[in-house]
Amino acid sequence: MNDAVKDAVKNRQPASLIGQRITKLDAPEKAAGKTRYVHDIHLPGQLHAAILRSAHVHAVIKRIDVSRARALPGVHAVLTAADIPGEHTHGIVIPDWPSLIGVGERVRYVGDALAIVAAETREQATAALDLIEVALEPQPVIADPVQARQIDSPSLHENGNLLKHIKVRKGDMAQGFAEADLILERTFHTATTDHAFLEPECSIAQPTADGRLYLYVGSQIPYADRNQVARALGWPDERVRVVGQLMGGGFGGKEDIAGQIHAALLAQATGRPVKLLYDRHESLIAHPKRHATQIRVKMGARRDGRLTAVQTELYGDAGAYASLSDKVMTRATTHSAGPYETPHARADCYAMYTNNPPSGAFRGFGVTQSAFAVESMIDELAEQLGIDPVELRRRNALRVGSVTNTGQLLHESVGLLECIDRVDSEMRRRAGNDPFRARPTPGQEHRVRAWGFAAAYKNTGLGGGAPDRAQAEVELYEDGALEARVSSAELGQGLVTVLQMIVAEEFQAPLDQVRVLVMDTDLTPDGGPTTASRQTFVTGNAVLQAARTLREGLVRVLAERFDAPPSQIRFVEGLALVNGHTAPLGEVAAIMKSEGHSPRALVEYWAPATQPLGAGGDMHFAYSFAAQAAEIEVNTRTGEVQVLTLIAATDVGKVLNPLGLLGQVEGGVMMGLGNALTEHFILEQGVPFSDRLARYRIPNITQTPEIVVLHVEHPASTGPYGAKGVGEIVSIPTTPAITNAITHATGVRITRLPVDQEEIALRGEGRGR
């Protein structure tokens, strides 16, 4: 940390100049509109930006004329691809996404950026877009991943349409199916969906007098933003400072570059701060989505319900550019046999480029899609075999000693059976011993009720051999305040509170004595991406180790000062107790400084090593597990489905923040409910129909069921206090629990998401009538 940064931290610069320094995150402050987001920042001399986006699905650019736009009063810059000084493409995994499409280049989806404008007002910038003339040559459209793999489909990228073929191999499939008494096969489809976070994307780029550029943005990966912006400018990373702001939701949708590069290019060209704010229409058409998938499942089992073989084939719609499709579809594939042990498993996934919007990270990271398919098949298998759906899951559930379909031996922290048992017990307490039988709603014979059940698992951390690390710093000030610093993103998931609690626990200090500074690439060390349910585990461990390192330093100084054994030094309520003496923590910091020691500890934590897919061994260092049961009511006249009750048990290793966990579960359940019943980003040959929220159905408050939350704790030995990830697992089993309940109520097996009410009304057997 250089002297300027030290001074900034010491002097506690105003919030507008640094990342988010947080002592307490209050929900009432958010509700009252007091929480500050990027759009709330207004810098002197600030210009406003707008982007000209393609209205064509697939075309080659023949000409772009910006002369009339540049002549418009109030316009300070109009830039095209020819004006980019550095690299022209960006991407977290594969840099194949052009920042701007140039003449002779290919537009690959509605939303590709062609030109950017900076003007005195937002209205002037928008007006300038209408003066830009573009000539294009339309090309054939590839609308889905199956079409993209056909031999006669045009190539969207230099190496074709196949982004990646992902393979899982375990055992001998011929043997596995030969040993089966029953073999089932079915194909499922899941829809493209949008994150629909409350806060649209906003970036502010500010040139500085010393030749640097500050970027104010809500981002899930600040250091990756810094790197990609610097590459576009042709600069070293250190010339760019990302000053992260709190986010109004992310769910994976704020991992990719949105307006950061465009704002930076315009600020560099004009020498003035530039704000680029998306409206909801632009947000919907431009940013990555959840992958639409086609998943074929072939499953074999003995008469006693023991699985013998599971084979899956997945097609994932990567859209126009790679984004995180490689990683997302790998997770979909490796989890596609479900949280069950089967001796023989095979999976093939084809992540394909299409002319749809790019698909990327989304809560559940591909496992949401494959869980729907495999859990639907498990339920159908139970019905065919005449075995209770819960008992079938219990017989095959992963447990300590199981080997996953990727060859990983599970040696600890496998709480799936307890999750299944606790949800089953609560469900039968409410519904009796036959919860899956359809029963009419008393007094309303056209309404029928039933329960459905599903289980799931999800990795914690990046895994697959990726280096997974986080740096964190903890410092003690002379006023007694403790501060943890890390670049990891706070987007409403409660990370800051967890980190506060860890530091407070280690020093036995009041929570309000601990601050957390996050999301500033000048002032906070790199905590890695906020993705893969990794932050509590990885950054939590980094902060835990930094706090313990600092505490050990304090103990050594106090032991020498008071001639006391280190074992007799304790910390209680913000005080150090040693050899009959009581010293406030601030006084201890002063003692350290007087003796030439710094009351600060910087730690780099490396998560346990993992292995790439196909290499054997541990592909992930931890998994979280869940089971859920849903009670639904179906109107057999209209097909309308109402979820009445949702019981959710989740093995999170160790509960660190019970209230935060409750919020994660409730939010995850509602997201899974929307995925099942309402949400669909509709595309018509690549053209978005869902280009406004009025055309994208998000669950509303009237659709919220009673949510019963059960905590299961099977500690992970390497997690902070035993904790592991929770952010994604809570939403994954919700959809199949609901769709399985629909099948029990109506006899209609749901194979396509979201649920089609008309199909239920037309095909439903009306078991309760």
pLDDT in tens, 315-370: 999 999 999 999 999 999 999 999 999 999 999 999 999 999 999 999 999 999 99
Mean pLDDT, residues 739-768: 88
The verdict on 307 and 380 lying in the same domain is yes
The residue behind tokens 């990271």 is 365
**Domain-located, residue 372:** yes
- 279-313 pLDDT, tens per residue? 999 999 999 999 999 999 999 999 999 999 999 99
Looking at residue 16, what is its pLDDT?
A: 46
The residue behind tokens 């250091």 is 223
Q: Which of 755, 746, 757 is nearest to 638 (CA)?
A: 757
Mean pLDDT, residues 198-202: 97
**Domain-located, residue 174:** no
User: Which tokens go with 205?
Assistant: 């780029």
The verdict on 570 and 476 lying in the same domain is yes
The verdict on 218 and 267 lying in the same domain is yes
Mean pLDDT, residues 90-109: 98
Q: Which of 711, 705, 653 is nearest to 422 (CA)?
A: 711
For residue 300, what are the β-bridge partners? 183, 309
**Domain-located, residue 638:** yes
Q: Which residues contact 461 (CB under 8 A, 6 or more apart)?
A: 468, 532, 533, 534, 537, 538, 607, 610, 620, 621, 622, 725
Strand locations in 278-358, DSSP E?
293-301, 307-319, 345-353
What confidence category does residue 31 fall into, taking pLDDT thresholds of 50, 70 and 90? confident
What confidence category does residue 763 fall into, taking pLDDT thresholds of 50, 70 and 90? confident
Domain count, the chain: 3
User: Which tokens go with 140?
Assistant: 């054939």
The verdict on 456 and 482 lying in the same domain is no
**Domain-located, residue 98:** yes
The verdict on 338 and 481 lying in the same domain is no
The verdict on 642 and 563 lying in the same domain is no
Q: Are 645 and 663 in contact (CB under 8 A)?
A: no
The verdict on 29 and 89 lying in the same domain is no
Query: What is the distance between the alpha carbons of residues 299 and 176, in angstroms, rounded to a whole number?
Result: 10
Mean pLDDT, residues 732-755: 98
Q: Are 405 and 348 in contact (CB under 8 A)?
A: no
Looking at residue 650, what is its pLDDT?
A: 98
Answer positive or negative: Cα dihedral of 461, 462, 464, 469.
negative
Q: What is the pTM of this model?
A: 0.96
Mean pLDDT, residues 140-157: 97
Q: Are 475 and 547 in contact (CB under 8 A)?
A: no
Q: Are 534 and 462 in contact (CB under 8 A)?
A: yes
**Domain-located, residue 167:** no
Out of 575, 606, 637, pick the residue that ends a domain.
606
β-strand pairing of 59-65 with 623-635: unpaired
Rounded (10°) angle between helices 585-594 and 540-562: 70
Give Cα separations from 420 to 396, 488, 509, 711 (angstroms): 12, 33, 38, 12
- 48-95 pLDDT, tens per residue? 999 999 999 999 999 999 999 999 999 999 999 999 999 999 999 999
Q: Which helix (H) or strand (E) holds 107?
A: strand 106-107
User: Which tokens go with 131?
Assistant: 């003066």
The verdict on 455 and 480 lying in the same domain is no
In order, the DSSP letters of 595-653 are: TT--SEEEEEEEPPP---TTS-S-S-S-EEEEEEEEEEEEETTT--EEEEEEEEEEE-S
Q: Give me the helices (H) in 291-388, please.
A: 325-334, 367-385
Looking at residue 14, what is its pLDDT?
A: 42
Strand locations in 113-270, DSSP E?
113-119, 133-138, 162-170, 182-190, 202-207, 213-217, 240-244
Looking at residue 50, what is its pLDDT?
A: 98
- 558-580 pLDDT, tens per residue? 999 999 999 999 999 999 999 88
User: Which tokens go with 162?
Assistant: 């196949």
Phi/psi of residue 578, nearest 5 degrees? -150, 120
Q: Which residues contact 238 (CB under 8 A, 6 or more apart)?
A: none
What confidence category does residue 28 fall into, taking pLDDT thresholds of 50, 70 and 90? low
What confidence category does residue 30 fall into, taking pLDDT thresholds of 50, 70 and 90? confident
The verdict on 577 and 630 lying in the same domain is no
Query: What is the distance between the alpha carbons of residues 57 and 357, in angstroms, rounded to a whole number?
Result: 9
The verdict on 450 and 330 lying in the same domain is yes
Query: What is the distance between the alpha carbons of residues 254 and 244, in angstroms, rounded to a whole number?
Result: 12
Give the number of other CB atoms < 10 A from CB of residue 75: 20
How would you classify residue 721: left for phi > 0, otherwise alpha for psi between -120 and 50, otherwise beta? left
Give Cα separations from 161 to 92, 315, 683, 727 (angstroms): 19, 12, 19, 32
What confidence category does residue 32 fall into, taking pLDDT thresholds of 50, 70 and 90? confident
Query: What is the distance between the alpha carbons of residues 529 and 326, in angstroms, rounded to a whole number?
Result: 16
**Domain-located, residue 157:** no
Query: What is the distance between the alpha carbons of residues 719 and 717, in angstroms, rounded to a whole number?
Result: 6
Q: Are 299 and 184 in contact (CB under 8 A)?
A: yes
User: Which tokens go with 14?
Assistant: 């105003």
The verdict on 282 and 357 lying in the same domain is no
Query: What is the distance between the alpha carbons of residues 120 and 77, in angstroms, rounded to a whole number?
Result: 10
Q: Is the pLDDT of residue 17 over 80?
A: no
Q: Is the pLDDT of residue 766 over 70?
A: no
What confidence category does residue 765 fall into, taking pLDDT thresholds of 50, 70 and 90? low
Looking at residue 378, what is its pLDDT?
A: 98
**Domain-located, residue 154:** no
Q: Which residues contact 325 (CB under 8 A, 6 or more apart)?
A: 163, 164, 291, 316, 318, 319, 351, 358, 359, 360
End-to-end alpha carbon distance in the chain: 71
Q: Are 375 and 454 in contact (CB under 8 A)?
A: yes
Q: Are 465 and 611 in contact (CB under 8 A)?
A: yes
Q: Are 122 and 46 in contact (CB under 8 A)?
A: no
Looking at residue 445, what is its pLDDT?
A: 86
What confidence category does residue 212 fall into, taking pLDDT thresholds of 50, 70 and 90? very high
- 237-276 pLDDT, tens per residue? 999 999 999 999 999 999 999 999 999 999 999 999 999 9
Domain encompassing residue 381: 293-463+612-763
Mean pLDDT, residues 36-57: 97
Q: Is the pLDDT of residue 623 over 50?
A: yes
The verdict on 565 and 628 lying in the same domain is no
User: Which tokens go with 171?
Assistant: 């055992």
**Domain-located, residue 171:** no
Q: Are 319 and 354 in contact (CB under 8 A)?
A: yes
Give Cα separations from 633 to 27, 492, 731 (angstroms): 33, 32, 20
What percentage of the chain carries pLDDT values higher than 70?
96
β-strand pairing of 307-319 with 345-353: parallel
Q: Which of 379, 287, 316, 299 is nearest to 190 (CA)?
A: 316
Mean pLDDT, residues 369-390: 98
Query: What is the distance between the alpha carbons of residues 728 and 650, in angstroms, rounded to a whole number?
Result: 11
Mean pLDDT for the chain overall: 95
Q: What is the CATH number of the domain that holds 411?
A: 3.30.365.10
Out of 548, 578, 606, pick the residue that ends a domain.
606
What confidence category does residue 188 fall into, taking pLDDT thresholds of 50, 70 and 90? very high
Q: Which residues contact 269 (CB under 8 A, 6 or more apart)?
A: 77, 79, 83, 118
Among the listed ranges 4-18, 150-164, 500-514, which one has the minimum average pLDDT value? 4-18
Looking at residue 237, what is its pLDDT?
A: 98
Looking at residue 1, what is its pLDDT?
A: 42
Answer positive or negative: Cα dihedral of 460, 249, 358, 93.
negative
Looking at residue 22, what is its pLDDT?
A: 67
Q: What is the CATH number of the domain that holds 277?
A: 3.90.1170.50
Out of 584, 606, 628, pick the residue that ends a domain.
606
Query: What is the distance between the alpha carbons of residues 734 and 675, in angstroms, rounded to a whole number?
Result: 9
Q: Is the pLDDT of residue 4 over 90?
A: no
